[in-house]
Chains A and B, each alone.
Chain A
Amino acid sequence: MIRIDNVCKHFGGLKAVDHVSIEIAEGSITGLIGPNGAGKTTLFNTIAGLYAPTSGRIYLDDEEITGLKPHQLFNKGLLRTFQIAHEFTRLSVVENLMMVPAHQSGENLVNAWFRRGLVEQEERQINQRAMEVVDFLNLGHIADEIAGNLSGGQKKLLELGRTMMVDAKIVFLDEVGAGVNRTLLREIGDAIIKLNREKNYTFCMIEHDMDFISRLCDPVICMAEGAVLAEGTAEQVKNNEEVIEAYLGRGLKNKGAIA
């Protein structure tokens, strides 16, 4: 579905992404792990059109999308969430969700004045979808809360909710789990699996919680220093010596020693 062919993204002398070639298969939930500073988010940003790659090509369903802008990719069904939530702080949760669908008829001045019925009907549909998303994510009690007042974890849920407002083909999730309660994260995992199976969404996610990754992702790709370090099933990657050395570690040293 997505093919990344020998992509580099350099910032001055820093090779944030260095000759990366990977494929994300249609219908897969692909996990992307790696140490802080490995280039995972930069790779996401390059695929999602925030940066043009320094070199290399990116394809979506065999169509080249290298250098397309985020809104062009959005219209092709490629969505992403941000590690740091980007909500409209002064709009409510529901209003934030209702902002997502593009080309709403109310955006057109003529429609807004002379075709109230159409605009209102569409708005009702979008509102209904937003309420379904809100229920799905257990945000019902704060549906009308101003997004700026949400807790850190609730903002992450809203980020995920935004991707559920349109029919996406592929969704890139940048650390949805960071700062989210683990029981809720399990439920988000269920939601991702459901979207994947029932709506045939393809996912690619950056995540640090290995339980979450193991449960959802196949394959798992580990990056380090801008390049792909390992690729395989979660089990294979977890047992890869280089991955343990660079990323997973071997547990606490001090717990036994001090306590």
Chain B
Amino acid sequence: MSFLSGENMVGGYGGADILKGCSIEVNEGEIAVIVGPNGAGKSTAMRALLGMLDLKQGSVQFRGNDISSLSPQDRIAEGIAFVPQTSNVFTSMTVFENLEMGAFLRNDDIAETLEQIYELFPILAEKKDQLAGELSGGQRQQVAVARALMSQPAVLMLDEPTAGVSPIVMDELFDRILEVRQTGVAILMVEQNARQALDIADRGFVLVIGENRHTDTGAALLADPEVRRSFLGG
């Protein structure tokens, strides 16, 4: 049984169903990547795991329990963290305040986590008193990921963390994500820089129109000529 899984999910935002029976899963210490065409339902599948839409069918399982009826905030308290694609930092707050906000649900001492975060993202220690809105795109993405990690999640979900960042920052983010995986966190990402993402993925899902088209290890998907041609740009 997997650590976090959405099984046979069907649903949308009120109009037509966007998810038409897709299944996604991720285990501890593993990186899973969702790829697919625009509008395939990748972000929606991730939001469904977080509880941001009502499923008509299917369920979400976490640590062996059915959490389908929990609200997003309850799921976050259970240990699921989410970094949306845009508007993912509080621009008028400092880096440090953003990190504090990430620990909002915690009642214990956050000093140790903060230290670990600064070790993982040295640039944030350097800029901790600067407004997040003044940082460059790549630095903001690091704030967003770090903020999510402040809740000490067991699962980290990232919606296109590398969209619009330079190659050197993409490598840096993926390097950090590999380090986060090393701590035992389960990581689920939606990525359009699919080749680079599948290259570090333990597991990959190709979604098309709300359904699973291919599921395999990252390496196997990268080697599949049909996947390359149809989804990775050759």
Contacts and interface: CB of A to CB of B under 8 A. Distances in A.
Contacts of A157: 38
A239 interface: no
A30 B113 CA distance: 45
Interface stretch (A60-68, A122-130, A148-156): A148-156
Given A36-B136, A185-B233, A247 B37 contact: no
Given A37-B136, A258-B179, A181 B167 contact: no
Interface stretch (A71-79, A95-103, A195-203, A248-256): A248-256
B32 to A, nearest CB: 15
A153 to B, nearest CB: 3
B230 interface: yes
B172 interface: yes
B43 A181 contact: no
A191 interface: no
Nearest to B174: A252
Interface residues of A, number: 42
Interface in A230-259: 246-255, 258-259
Contact of B194 (A83, A182, A247): A182
Contacts of B232: 182-183
Interface bracket on B = 35 or more
B85 interface: yes
Interface string B63-100: 00000000000000000000001100000000000000
B118 interface: no
Interface of A: 33-37, 83-84, 142, 149-154, 156-157, 175, 178-186, 208-211, 246-255, 258-259
Given A36-B164, A152-B38, A255-B174, 17 more contacts: A83-B164, A152-B86, A153-B37, A153-B39, A156-B38, A178-B164, A180-B38, A180-B192, A181-B38, A182-B195, A182-B232, A208-B165, A208-B166, A248-B168, A249-B168, A253-B171, A255-B200
Interface of B: 13, 15, 35-40, 43, 85-86, 136-139, 160, 163-172, 174-175, 178-179, 181-182, 192-195, 199-200, 229-234
